[in-house]
Chains A and B, each alone.
Chain A
Amino acid sequence: MENFFKVRYNAAILFLIIMAALIFVVAGCQEREDAQGKDPVAHVDPIPSESCISCHTSADIINTLAVTDDGDDGHGGEGG
């Protein structure tokens, strides 16, 4: 009799562990889905750009070609 209760007890514990694991996995998936937003991810084909990359990842090259954007004559932000 005592053995019967022990088996039931172990089965209950096992059931709880499985349920907890399931909840953990499902909630985790849900969170990933939310983080990616509701938008469908469009298929965008990459376009080879190795020439652009070779210059724009080189600090030496970019430093010699550096340009600055036009400012706004000191107007500065007026918002907020």
Chain B
Amino acid sequence: MYLVANNFLDSTHGALGCITCHDGQNVSDKEGAHQGLIVRPSADTDGICAQCHGSITTSFSNSLHSTLHGFVSSLETFSEPGVLEQEGGLQYLYENNCSSCHASCGSCHVSRPVSYTGGLHSQHEFTKTPPMEETCYGCHPTRNGGEFMGKVGYTPDVHYQAGMECVDCHDVSNFHGSGEQEMGMYQLNSMVQCTDCHQDVYSGTSPIEAHKVHNEDLMSCQVCHASANNNCFDCHVTLKDDGGLSSTSETKLMFKIGTNPEITERYPYKYVTLRHVPTTIDSFIQLGESLLPNYHSVSNWKMSPTHNIQRVTLQNETCSSCHGNQYIFLQEKDLRDTDSAANERVLVKEIP
């Protein structure tokens, strides 16, 4: 719906007139008025928004929300670096599906994502803080966004129940970019950590015994405080007659703790919560043979900062809820025939 509020016309942006941003013609017939119309003026990061908000648009153009480098690096890791620059199935996939997801100024501050419902979220008024339910959730509904709000899984995150929104934890640079060329969210220095707010947990002064006996590097906070998350398996992309793409995958709510396959200074934990990603070796078989030659060198059970935190969970109720509980640690028997051989690295071989 493209109904515009009268209030908007009195705002700074509204006073510029529709045509200043959208082009088109100031005539009364619909076809003539829409000649040359630019539906999403902010899709060009160097365009109209940059005239007044240049420092943000410059930073944003290198951000993950704009470049989608997270998708790029996932596909390249399963295949090979530079594969999306070569003509072929993965390039077709990226250009006809993945790349349609990238955000622009307007897709958060003015409208809803096309993949959600499209249209304007506040009758064209520019919202300084975009409404989480219609913007963040619009693009992140199946996993962290949906889990945070309780639309996926069992219980909303305690922070959501306390009235918090995405922007209360995530720094604005997680949306507008840090100014650097961003390669993946786990490389971002500005990514929030629980201890930014919960500073007493590892200080030795916490009144909670479990915080004293588990050291900081042993496990991520989610290992004790997350609930079951949404896991996708065996995604298959279908090429339709008109050239469009669609996909289906099996989803399952599960809670699995695994071994952190990539210990870094920022993520030093031995144990982390996991999530199964949809990709399987023949996910894109309709677009070409052997498109993922490195499939077995990358695990498809991934570290996940699951966003459905609870104070009390099934695994932290008592010591024995976790210790010795074979159901919550990823083991060989949990792997599917279609899984990557690299999942070996995240298995918990000796249950603590």
A interface with B by C-beta (< 8 Å): 37-42, 44-57, 59, 62-63, 65-66, 68-80
When the two chains form their complex, are residues B101 and A47 in contact, meaning their CB atoms are under 8 A apart?
Answer: no
Please indicate the chain B residues that have their CB under 8 angstroms from the CB of A65 in the complex: 30
B interface with A by C-beta (< 8 Å): 1-6, 9, 15-20, 22, 24-28, 30, 33, 48, 51-56, 70, 97, 100-101, 113-119, 138-145, 240, 244-247, 278, 307
**What is the chain A residue whose CB lies nearest that of B13?**
A44
**Alpha-carbon distance between A73 and B113 when the two chains are bound, in angstroms:** 14
Given A39-B56, A48-B26, A75-B246: A80 touches B3 (CB 8 Å cut-off): no
**Alpha-carbon distance between A46 and B16 when the two chains are bound, in angstroms:** 4
**Alpha-carbon distance between A19 and B3 when the two chains are bound, in angstroms:** 50
When the two chains form their complex, are residues A48 and B139 in contact, meaning their CB atoms are under 8 A apart?
Answer: no
When the two chains form their complex, are residues A42 and B3 in contact, meaning their CB atoms are under 8 A apart?
Answer: no
When the two chains form their complex, are residues B16 and A47 in contact, meaning their CB atoms are under 8 A apart?
Answer: yes
When the two chains form their complex, are residues B4 and A56 in contact, meaning their CB atoms are under 8 A apart?
Answer: yes
**Alpha-carbon distance between A46 and B116 when the two chains are bound, in angstroms:** 32
The smallest beta-carbon distance between A40 and chain B, in angstroms, is 8
**Alpha-carbon distance between A56 and B2 when the two chains are bound, in angstroms:** 7
Given A56-B4, A57-B5, A73-B244: A51 touches B27 (CB 8 Å cut-off): yes
**Alpha-carbon distance between A54 and B282 when the two chains are bound, in angstroms:** 52
Residue among A70, A74, A77 with max Cβ neighbours from chain B (10 Å): A77
Please indicate the chain B residues that have their CB under 8 angstroms from the CB of A45 in the complex: 20
When the two chains form their complex, are residues A79 and B140 in contact, meaning their CB atoms are under 8 A apart?
Answer: yes
Given A46-B15, A49-B18, A71-B115: A80 touches B140 (CB 8 Å cut-off): yes
9 further A-B pairs in the complex, CB-CB below 8 A; given A39-B54, A45-B20, A51-B26: A48-B19, A56-B3, A57-B5, A71-B115, A72-B100, A73-B244, A76-B141, A77-B139, A79-B70
The smallest beta-carbon distance between B182 and chain A, in angstroms, is 14
The smallest beta-carbon distance between B267 and chain A, in angstroms, is 16
Given A52-B33, A62-B1: A80 touches B145 (CB 8 Å cut-off): yes
When the two chains form their complex, are residues A73 and B246 in contact, meaning their CB atoms are under 8 A apart?
Answer: yes
**What is the chain B residue whose CB lies nearest that of A56?**
B4
3 closest A-B pairs by beta carbon, nearest first, are A69-B118, A73-B246, A49-B18
**What is the chain B residue whose CB lies nearest that of A54?**
B28
The smallest beta-carbon distance between A72 and chain B, in angstroms, is 5
From B30, B142, B240, give the contact of A76 (CB < 8 A). B142
From B18, B24, B114, give the contact of A71 (CB < 8 A). B114
The smallest beta-carbon distance between B115 and chain A, in angstroms, is 5
- 25 chain-A/chain-B pairs, Cβ below 8 angstroms: A39-B55, A41-B52, A44-B48, A44-B52, A46-B20, A47-B16, A48-B26, A49-B19, A53-B18, A55-B33, A56-B4, A57-B4, A59-B3, A62-B1, A65-B30, A71-B114, A72-B115, A73-B240, A74-B246, A76-B115, A77-B140, A77-B145, A80-B143, A80-B145, A80-B307
When the two chains form their complex, are residues B18 and A56 in contact, meaning their CB atoms are under 8 A apart?
Answer: yes
Given A48-B17, A51-B33, A80-B143: A73 touches B119 (CB 8 Å cut-off): no
Please indicate the chain B residues that have their CB under 8 angstroms from the CB of A42 in the complex: 51-52
The smallest beta-carbon distance between B277 and chain A, in angstroms, is 9
Residue among B4, B9, B24, B244 with max Cβ neighbours from chain A (10 Å): B4
When the two chains form their complex, are residues A70 and B114 in contact, meaning their CB atoms are under 8 A apart?
Answer: yes
Residue among A57, A71, A72, A78 with max Cβ neighbours from chain B (10 Å): A78
When the two chains form their complex, are residues B1 and A57 in contact, meaning their CB atoms are under 8 A apart?
Answer: no
**What is the chain A residue whose CB lies nearest that of B58?**
A39
Given A41-B52, A48-B26, A52-B24: A78 touches B19 (CB 8 Å cut-off): no
When the two chains form their complex, are residues B119 and A69 in contact, meaning their CB atoms are under 8 A apart?
Answer: yes
**Alpha-carbon distance between A39 and B176 when the two chains are bound, in angstroms:** 15
**Alpha-carbon distance between A30 and B100 when the two chains are bound, in angstroms:** 40
